[in-house]
Amino acid sequence: NGGSVNIGSNVIFQNNTTKGEMDTVNWQGNAGGALALQNGSKSVIGDAVKFESNGGKENTMSGGAIYLSRNDLQIGNDAAFSSNSSAGQGGAIYSGDSNVTIGNGAVFENNESRTGGAIYNYGSTNDRTSNINIGDNATFSGNTASNNGGAAANYSGEFNVGSGAEFSGNTA
């Protein structure tokens, strides 16, 4: 809890998961297979960062790759999120009361969750907004949600994607 994280370019997060019990009745449990950022200041991740096969529906509740709660995150250009999963919300990214900016050329493919196959955005408090801003030429393909939002689910705040984006083969 707290603080910030700064990660350089060309970093790979692969096959990271959470441990412990999940409660699928009350939808509570572990979050952020690769990164969990809570109650902090702005964190920055460089260009060409890859998040692959993080989380897992059997042990990660929210944010297969990244879980954000009351935090701001900036990710550089050409980020790739593939085959990440969670049992609850946000196969790749869960953003609650947070602001996320992702540069141009982001790719979200084959991520899976219950709600928001790739991204879940939720603002729950009056003192913070929850916004997702993704640059130009983003690709969302093959993402799956068993409930709502094959590519993304936005329950409060803003979800903005730049020009030239492609959404294909996402299902809910």
**Residues 85, 125, 74, 7, CA torsion sign:** negative
- Tokens at 4, concatenated: 């910030």
Nearest residue to 169 (alpha-carbon basis) of 117, 104, 95, 98: 117
Query: How confident is the model at residue 24, as a pLDDT?
Result: 54
Name the 3-class secondary structure at 82. strand
At 143, is the pLDDT very low, low, confident or very high (cuts 50, 70, 90)?
Answer: very high
Task: Report the alpha-carbon distance of residue 74 to residue 100 in Å, rounded.
Answer: 6
Task: Report the alpha-carbon distance of residue 145 to residue 111 in Å, rounded.
Answer: 9
What does DSSP say about strands 72-75 and 93-96: parallel, antiparallel, or unpaired?
A: unpaired
Query: How confident is the model at residue 22, as a pLDDT?
Result: 59
At 60, is the pLDDT very low, low, confident or very high (cuts 50, 70, 90)?
Answer: confident
Per-residue pLDDT tens over the stretch 107-128: 999 999 999 999 999 987 666 7
Q: What is the mean pLDDT of residues 88-92?
A: 95
- Tokens at 160, concatenated: 């903005």
Per-residue pLDDT tens over the stretch 11-50: 999 999 887 665 555 555 678 889 989 888 789 999 999 9
Do residues 140 and 166 lie in contact, with contact meaning Cβ atoms separated by under 8 Å?
Answer: yes
Do residues 50 and 89 lie in contact, with contact meaning Cβ atoms separated by under 8 Å?
Answer: no
Q: What is the mean pLDDT of residues 144-154?
A: 97
